């Protein structure tokens, strides 16, 4: 029996106790009079009298009383029209703003209106706000299976990157790929509306059984090919008169030999226990182009990080930094991101690198001041970039976590003006009127 059923049962027992107490307070005749009444009723029955109508009326009255009691129980137990939803994480009470991570197995969020959100393994998300009509869920990375109970006034929002999926009552899967900056929505039942800075038409409707993939990132060009090594041209031979050129002597041949091309020298035998050969210089680029970040990073580490830091493009440095971050190598990730900022200042890659440096400080170390500085750098360089809503929302969290109330109010006002329906709108509205 779950907690909600226990609450209903306890409320039913309290209603029954109140009814019993009310009956006890009713005025009752003395015992002798009640006994005489019983004798008279029995005599009437023995003479053919009919007491069934009285019993029927009593049964109807009792049935009506029970129905009224049950209606009262459920009216008190269910959330009222103004009560915000609550939710539980695998049976434990959930809190607004708390991160939920599904590591090796699926994690489920059960909401008080009957809706459910399942986090696939490797997913990180959080409930950013709850209200009487729905909730807001921010998908940091990974995939969610969402089943929202349909009501006429349901208001649910699932946010991933710069996109928002507005739900009325439906079932769907949604995935946010942080590396490709791509949102995927696959409808199972019902329909949703998807909003975002690059969604056309605005408020695009997606109905079952449709699927949709969206990205605001600029398409990446193919991996550049390494130019062939420069070879100095041979100097032209000196001009010589034809009669001055002596005929070339025929090659000396051993008896029985043919004039075949000389065989190349044999390769030296491989030594037992020798280290594996180094990766070809272009293999990491091929792996990046194929989306194999782990293999690309392994190639780079075999070649030597310093070799790549000075020769990779800005987008390549950001991709390699993300591979190192996902591979739990934060120091290497920071070197790659900082190289992107140093070598390609002012570019999209440099701005994205600043955002990721802020995210590493936010998620990995809880270094709120450092994280906000990097988010501020991204917002200054790309105020309308694809990651701007998340950078501003995280900046708001950083100010709140440091108890910088004036700064939090300033950021909250900026957020509400730019993204009134964004994933952090609930938090922004709460902090906008906060006291010092």
Given the candidates 2.60.40.1580, 3.40.630.30, 2.60.120.1440, 1.10.510.10, the CATH classification of the domain at 87-215 is 2.60.120.1440
pLDDT over threshold 70, residue 55: no
- Tokens linked to 403: 């108890």
Instruction: Give pLDDT, residue 206.
Output: 87
Two tokens at 279? Answer: 């990766």
Q: Rounded to an integer, what distance in angstroms lies between the CA atom of residue 146 and that of residue 189?
A: 11
Helical (H) or strand (E) element with 192 = strand 191-195
Residue range 396-405, pLDDT digits in tens: 999 999 999 8
SS3 187: strand
Domain 283-432 belongs in CATH node 3.40.50.300: no
CB neighbour class for 226 (10 Å; exposed up to 12, middle 13-18, buried from 19): exposed
Q: Are 349 and 319 in contact (CB under 8 A)?
A: no
Q: Where are the domains of the chain?
A: 28-66, 87-215, 283-432
The model's pLDDT over 179-202, given as tens digits with 9 standing for 90+, comes to: 778 899 998 988 888 887 778 776
Question: Is 50 exceeded by the pLDDT of residue 9?
Answer: yes
Q: Which pLDDT belongs to residue 146?
A: 94
Rg over alpha carbons for the chain, rounded to the nearest Å, is: 37
Contact 190, 170 (CB under 8 A): yes
**Regarding predicted confidence, which is higher, 332 or 11?**
332
In sequence order, what are the beta bridge partners of 146?
Answer: 117, 172
Least confident of 30-39, 182-191, 319-328, 368-377: 30-39
Dihedral angle, C-alpha 279, 282, 285, 287, nearest 10 °: -40
Is the entire prediction scored with pTM above 0.75? no
Q: Which of 61-65, 160-164, 303-307 has the lowest mean pLDDT?
A: 61-65
What is the chain's mean pLDDT, rounded? 75
Q: Which residue has the higher pLDDT, 153 or 140?
A: 140
Query: Higher-confidence residue: 386 or 225?
Result: 386
């Amino acid at each position: 029996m779950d907690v909600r059923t226990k609450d209903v049962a306890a409320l039913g027992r309290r209603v029954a106790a109140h009814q019993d107490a009310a009956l006890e307070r009713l005025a009752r005749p003395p015992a002798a009079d009640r006994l005489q009444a019983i004798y008279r009723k029995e005599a009437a029955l023995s003479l053919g009298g009919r007491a069934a109508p009285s019993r029927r009326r009593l049964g109807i009255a009792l049935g009506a009383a029970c129905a009224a009691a049950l209606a009262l129980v459920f009216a008190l137990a269910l959330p009222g029209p103004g009560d915000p939803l609550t939710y539980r994480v695998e049976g434990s009470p959930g809190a607004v703003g708390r991160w939920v991570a599904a590591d090796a197995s699926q994690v489920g969020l059960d909401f008080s209106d009957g809706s459910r959100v399942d986090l696939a393994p490797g997913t990180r998300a959080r409930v950013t706000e709850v209200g009487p009509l729905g909730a807001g869920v921010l998908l940091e990375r990974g995939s969610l299976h969402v089943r929202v109970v349909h009501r006429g006034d349901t208001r649910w929002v699932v946010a991933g990157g710069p996109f928002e999926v507005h739900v009325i009552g439906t079932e769907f899967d949604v995935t946010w790929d942080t590396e490709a900056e791509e949102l995927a929505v696959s409808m199972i039942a019902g329909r949703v509306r998807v909003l975002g800075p690059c969604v056309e038409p605005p408020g695009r409707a997606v109905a079952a059984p449709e699927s949709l993939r969206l990205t605001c990132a600029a398409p990446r060009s193919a991996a550049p090919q390494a130019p062939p090594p420069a070879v100095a041209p041979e100097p032209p031979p000196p001009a010589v008169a034809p009669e001055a050129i002596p005929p070339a002597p025929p090659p000396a041949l051993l008896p029985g030999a043919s004039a075949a091309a000389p065989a190349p020298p044999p390769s030296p035998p491989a030594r037992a226990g020798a280290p594996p050969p180094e990766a070809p210089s272009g293999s990491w680029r091929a792996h990046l182009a194929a989306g194999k970040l782990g293999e690309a990073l392994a190639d780079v580490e075999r070649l030597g990080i310093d070799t790549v830091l000075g020769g990779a493009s800005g987008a390549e440095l950001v991709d390699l930094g993300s591979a190192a971050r996902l591979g739990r190598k934060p120091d290497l990730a920071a070197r790659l991101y900082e190289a992107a900022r140093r070598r390609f200042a002012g570019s999209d890659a440099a701005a994205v690198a600043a955002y990721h440096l802020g995210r590493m400080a936010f998620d990995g170390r809880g270094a709120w001041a450092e994280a906000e500085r990097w988010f501020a750098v991204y917002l200054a360089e790309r105020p309308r970039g694809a990651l701007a809503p998340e950078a501003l929302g995280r900046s708001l969290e950083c100010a709140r976590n440091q108890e910088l109330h004036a700064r939090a109010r300033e950021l909250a006002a900026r957020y509400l003006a730019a993204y009134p329906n964004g994933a952090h709108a609930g938090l922004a509205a709460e902090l906008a009127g906060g006291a010092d």
